[in-house]
Amino acid sequence: MSDLIYRDYAPADFGNCLELLRTGHTDEFDARRFGWLHLENLLAPSRIAVAECGDRIVGMYAVIRKKALFGDCSYVAGRDVDPVVHPDFRGKGVFSGLLKHGLESFKDIDFYFNFANDLSRGGFIRNGWRQIGTLRDYVYQVGWTRLFSRQAALYLLSRCHYRAAKAEPAVELEFEDLRDLPFSLSALSRCGFTVERSFGYLQWRYQRHPFNQYRYIGARADGRVTKVAIIRIDSRSREFVLCDFLWLDDVQPTLDFLFCHLRSLGCDFKLKMWHTYPGSVTGQFITNRMRSGHQGQGLLVRSGRVAPEGLYDISKWNITFGDAEIM
């Protein structure tokens, strides 16, 4: 459309962009969420492109910059979020125009990744992003309350599959207890991609989240905290979501301590995570057999300034629910 202008976001666009997000996505988007996501993260502000038609903002595409490791090298990874086009302007090439402007304008982003929904996935793929695989759901059923129920069936499968090991004592931590723990680079295997888990990043990502509440469950051994699981409780879906799991380099990354702690709560929730943790963790879970096709979340990737070796190999991507969750 010839009357469209693509440009970088300006602070004066805040109100119009927020209204566009509410119109094109959900009215749950509010100023707190926009500020936390785009103005308060460690490499804020986010890189944002807008499409303007007259005095209206009719499209928006945003990228959160994150410090990341890929192999032994540090990069700036761009997490695509909130792509939205006003319903009146969809199907007219606006989204492609936003992506093109972003790729030309966001010069400090080494590569991009996202978890696009069904509405935006095709637009990303047409503009050079590649879906490199699916992040599969793994579950462990913590308990059950009715014998002939889905929960009881998953509990039986979980317990039959699970190889019990001696669990370290578990302790509920306050967020500040994480400040002096040397976990910043130990969240996941270092052979591929991982977002750098500094204390500041964890503080922004979890403690300062405008809506969600998180719990920090630690394992103790020899008088020290050796592992921390960061979980969110989803009462509607009856799930514990493992958002992040961090451990010291000299310990085996297993979750026996967390299973024992959650079982002590006496509920029929399941613990859910993605399959990208080391085998010592994933071996304690089962695939989600109650989900059609055992499907999870698609991961889309694109090079920016650079394309690290392994960029398009999903086995090199260490991704958690914490990397994807923004609501």
Summarize pLDDT for 198-231 with one digit per residue, the tens. 899 999 999 999 999 999 999 998 888 999 999 9
Mean pLDDT for the chain overall: 89
Summarize pLDDT for 171-186 with one digit per residue, the tens. 999 999 999 888 654 5
Q: In the 3-class helix/strand/coil scheme, how is 51-91 assigned residue by residue?
A: EEECCEEEEEEEEEEEEEEECCEEEEEEEEEEEEECHHHCC
Q: Which of 181, 225, 201 is nearest to 69 (CA)?
A: 201
pLDDT (0 to 100) of residue 173:
96
Residues 206 and 227: their CA atoms lie apart, in Å, by 17
pLDDT (0 to 100) of residue 184:
58
pLDDT (0 to 100) of residue 273:
92
With pLDDT > 90 as the criterion, what percentage of the chain qualifies? Answer: 62
pLDDT (0 to 100) of residue 293:
44
What are the two backbone dihedrals, phi and then psi, of residue 240, each rounded to the nearest 5 degrees? -95, 125
Summarize pLDDT for 30-60 with one digit per residue, the tens. 999 999 999 999 999 999 999 999 889 999 9
Residues 301 and 17: their CA atoms lie apart, in Å, by 25
Contact 94, 85 (CB under 8 A): yes
Global pTM exceeds 0.85: yes
Summarize pLDDT for 236-288 with one digit per residue, the tens. 989 999 999 999 888 888 999 999 999 899 888 999 998 888 888 888 888 86
118-126 and 94-105 helices, crossing angle to 10°? 60
